[in-house]
Structure 1
Amino acid sequence: MTDRPVPLSRRTLIASAGLIALAACRKGADAQKGTLYAGDQKGGSKVVLGAAGKLKDLPYRIEWSAFPNAAPLLEALNAGAIDTGIGGDAAFIFAIGTGATIKAIGAQKYDGVGPVLVVARDSPIRSIKDIAGKRIATPRGSIAHNFILAALEAQGRPLNAVHFAFLSPQDGQAALQGGSVDGWAIWDPNAALAEKDGARIIRADGLVPSYALLFGRDGAIADKRPLLQDYARRLYAGWDWAVAHPDTYATLLHDETGIPTDVWRTVTGRTKRTGIPIDVTLIADQQKTADRYLRAGLIEKPVDVRKGFDASFTA
């Protein structure tokens, strides 16, 4: 056994069900227009905002809630438990494809390593072309799930040529270590941590563009637009700070998550995450994901992703 940090899990942080109940308590007079309820992931928005000095002199209060990954954060947004949060673009497309009333109001482009396939060091899988017929763990509807589907399409293979085990990040790591799956499709820092522990990562850079999106629930966009606009402006400045100070950022991420600093230096060194506006290129990339999810049977009907974006916050 080891006390090394493990990938963040739904079980170790706030459950969406509890936040849904909390949402009911916040309706009416208690839903203060002077408070922004923000969802976050470990090592996420709060860290970068604090490091860049963007939590100083706030004209409103931020109440933070922590999540293990994008899917439960999006569930809480849709339930009205939080006003805003950030997560992977593919998870967002999956959410709006299943009826969520959420908008993307900002975006971050990943230049470098996006989602990857993690395999055991002695695995016969040597490249992304070797995945057909294999059992792969990944969170359902995530950027890593989209990555594997895109790899199958690029090879001209059917989208059911891989046997998926839809697992949380922590459970996916355990499944790979236990040998019950052949590979684990995931993102950093989980991939970098697995690599440090002896696994191999299989990259296919550029196979799918990688983005994170800043979300706002429809009610907050209507009632708290000035707060969301200010929050988005501060967050974009924080992202700029992180790109300019990768070593300092890595140290702060270690302090926040417990994951070793050298792992975070690997992450910040091989991927730059830059704030970008919501534009036609971004939306076109998201439409490709939505269409792929439809072909894979993840969503039941076509989705016009333009309806899920509000470009006025980054215009």
Structure 2
Amino acid sequence: MKPFALPLAFKRTAIVGALATATLLQAPLTLADELRIGYQRSSTLMSVLRNNNSLEEKLAEQGVTIDWYEFTSGLPMLESLNVGNIDISADVADTVPIFAQAAGADLTFYASEAPSPAGQALIVLEDSDIETLEDLAGKRITVTRGAGNHYLLIAALESVGLTLDDVRVSYLPPADARAAFAQGNVDAWIAWEPFLSTSRATLETRTITDGSDGLASYTRYYLAATPYVEANPEVISTVYEALNEAGNWVNENPEEAAELLAPLWGNLDPDIVQTANLNRSYDVQPVTLEGLGEQQKIADAFFAADILPHAVDATDSPIWQPGE
């Protein structure tokens, strides 16, 4: 199992992520009585489980303890997963596993969330002259290179016969993208939650498109180190069941969930968090080969746009299924 290098597009986030990785290098080898979980502040369901201790309680019955490791973004988290410094990850956006696969990471899909196409959208300021996707020609658009919003841009342009060469793209991380958008330095931004709902609540915006019309499903995936899955399937099963319960709880208790998550998401207004959560399914499901069809579309689009160094088979990673 070999470590993989982050693509140049992610160097900025990798700097911070590397600090977490350096700490993790001191972690012990995986033991059957320990589960090391990587997560981000935006990892909704894992954050719920970490807060209510329900996963600890379930695993304690199996003689397993949990160590939690926070990361600033998905790629450094998967890199640490690949080199054996953590055992499983919380959810990552659909594009993240593709970069890990391109680097030859030995990772296993163990869960996904049902698509959340409204979880990202191409927005403009209210007074913009952009009314349709065709109007994007020649306009300044910001996305995060290699992220899900980058794929949505490619798919949206392609749907009206345009390409990335027909627009002026600024590749910015979300916080910088929001500032550029609010100041009018770009004409459009494809934002994802909770940045999307925050911008809609604090700026006068219009939505040109999201993924709801079939452009991009925006699926979240959970991954684990393949050796850990093979050695500890009963632990993975417990995690899967706990995630499913957490997803149901968030959907059935929107106000309470928003109050819990608001401080974790930078002290956002709970109303904004609740709105953002409505655009996510939080419906935990098994991963299937058929369900990875859009992953292949993303991989092919990124390879064609020179975002990936080589072609990727999106189905070329093991899939754990409940009951295994």
1:179 CA drift (Å): 3.3
Structure 1 unmatched runs, 5+: 1-9
**Residue number in structure 2 paired with 1:25:** 26
2:73 to 69, 84, 88: 69
One-letter code aligned to 1:81: N
**Residue number in structure 1 paired with 2:306:** 297
| TM-score, with length taken from structure 2 | 0.83
**Residue number in structure 1 paired with 2:187:** 182
Q: Secondary structure at the match of 1:15?
A: helix
Counting only pairs closer than 5 Å after superposition, residues 241-256 of structure 1 correspond to structure 2 as 241-256=249-264
Change (3 A) 1:12 1:283: closer
**Residue number in structure 2 paired with 1:38:** 37
| TM-score, with length taken from structure 1 | 0.85
**Residue number in structure 2 paired with 1:285:** 294
Q: Secondary structure at the match of 1:160?
A: helix
**Residue number in structure 2 paired with 1:92:** 97
Q: Does 1:56 align with 2:60?
A: no
Change (3 A) 1:46 1:278: closer
How far, CA to CA, are the matches of 2:189 and 2:318 in structure 1? 30
**Residue number in structure 2 paired with 1:114:** 119
Q: Secondary structure at the match of 1:156?
A: coil
1:224 CA drift (Å): 4.0
Identity across the alignment (%): 26
Q: Does 1:259 align with 2:268?
A: yes
**Residue number in structure 1 paired with 2:6:** none
2:239 to 206, 231, 234: 231
**Residue number in structure 2 paired with 1:5:** none
How far, CA to CA, are the matches of 2:180 and 2:31 in structure 1? 44
1:111 CA drift (Å): 4.2
1:81 to 85, 88, 111: 85
Return 264-273 or 274-283, whichever deviates more. 264-273
Change (3 A) 1:103 1:165: farther
Change (3 A) 1:24 1:253: closer
Q: Secondary structure at the match of 2:25?
A: helix
How far, CA to CA, are the matches of 2:65 and 2:222 in structure 1? 18
Contact 2:119 2:276 in 1 (8 A): no
1:240 to 240, 248, 273: 248
One-letter code aligned to 1:34: D
The CA RMSD measured in Å over matched residues stands at 2.7
2:225 to 209, 213, 217: 217
Change (3 A) 1:137 1:241: same
| Equivalent pairs, count | 304
One-letter code aligned to 1:46: M
Structure 2 unmatched runs, 5+: 1-10
Change (3 A) 1:287 1:260: same
One-letter code aligned to 1:39: G
